[in-house]
Amino acid sequence: MPEKNNTIQVVRKPDEMAEVAGKIVNNGGKIGLVPTMGFLHEGHLSLLKLLNGKCGVKIASIFVNPIQFGKNEDISAYPRNEKRDIEQLQAAGCQIVFAPDPEDIYPPDFQTYVDVERITQGLCGEYRPGHFRGVTTIVARLFNITRCSVAAFGLKDFQQAQVIHRMVKDLYLPVELIFGETVREADGLAMSSRNTRLSLAERQTALRLSRALEWARQRAENSAVEVSEIVAGVSHIISSSPNAVIQYIECVDAETLKSVETIFSRAQIVLAVYVGKTRLIDNITIGKDSGTKPIASVIL
């Protein structure tokens, strides 16, 4: 029997989740999914809101997916608070939480992976080998287990959004994707479960990421500008703090994720920076046409 938490249903076993979802779908129901790694913040909850009117049943998954962490990455340091997550999901109108155990998701005989090739090679993919293979494999499986016809992802993980979009298109997965704009704290810091690991001093340093990106946006607002100048400026703003170690800052085409040299109409600045031991990512659309349509529609 599923655990009940007032009105929200918590499902642990993949087989049970598939059965529950199958019944909903076979009765003509539509399911929406927000896949998460838990330790929820307003960014996650905003994705649930984006499902409004798109489905009758909202499922959120909470699963810290081991195969998307590299062997040098400390999965045990990823923050968790399942009890609070479930309370927040219930308050946000989510009907089912799928929170499986890793050993049920990856039994010993598991051996099937989904691989997106070219657009996973650069940016985060270059520094986190195997990361996107882990992401696409778990997302494809969550789509199938939950039988969702719509799913929402945040654009803070910009490359991930494009990779998942590519996978859905290439595999003809019958799932509509919705992308939510990055939700930020009042001072501009992109919301992330990892932010809680920042010390007060580190949090001040972390602010430089969004400030640098906002500087780039303004700099490229009205005229064509050289990428080298933009990247140097963003780099300078961030690296002038001793706490920050830049992994990459790149200016790419939002769809192909290939580097661009001159910014004419619009482009995407994407970056990854270590602030102390915490790896943060952020991105922004820049260029004179950056305001013409939301970046989510560039993906779709």
161 binding its own copies? (CB under 8 A): no
| Closer residue to its own copies in complex, CB, 245/260 | 260
Single out the residue of 24, 37, 48, 140 in contact with its own copies (rule: CB under 8 A): 140
171 binding its own copies? (CB under 8 A): yes
Q: Which of 136, 152, 179, 163 is nearest to 285 (CA)?
A: 179
3-state secondary structure of 294: coil
Instruction: Tell me which DSSP letter residue 143 carries.
Output: H
108 binding its own copies? (CB under 8 A): no
| Closer residue to its own copies in complex, CB, 111/222 | 111
Tokens found for residue 72:
């040098």
CB of 116 to its own copies, least distance (A): 5
Single out the residue of 61, 88, 136, 205 in contact with its own copies (rule: CB under 8 A): 136
Cβ atoms of 209 and 220 closer than 8 Å: no
258 binding its own copies? (CB under 8 A): no
Measured distance CA(262)–CA(178) in Å, rounded: 29
Measured distance CA(131)–CA(29) in Å, rounded: 33
Residue 210 to residues 27, 121, 127, 178, 257, Cα–Cα distance (Å): 46, 25, 21, 23, 20
| Closer residue to its own copies in complex, CB, 114/230 | 114
Kindly indicate which of the ranges 5-13, 138-146, 207-215, 290-298 contains the residues binding its own copies, using the contact rule CB under 8 A: 138-146
Cβ atoms of 250 and 269 closer than 8 Å: yes
Single out the residue of 7, 76, 111, 297 in contact with its own copies (rule: CB under 8 A): 111
Tokens found for residue 10:
């918590």
44 is catalytic: yes
Active site residues: 44
What residue ranges bind its own copies (CB under 8 A)? 14, 18, 22, 28, 109-119, 136, 140-141, 144-145, 147, 166-167, 170-174
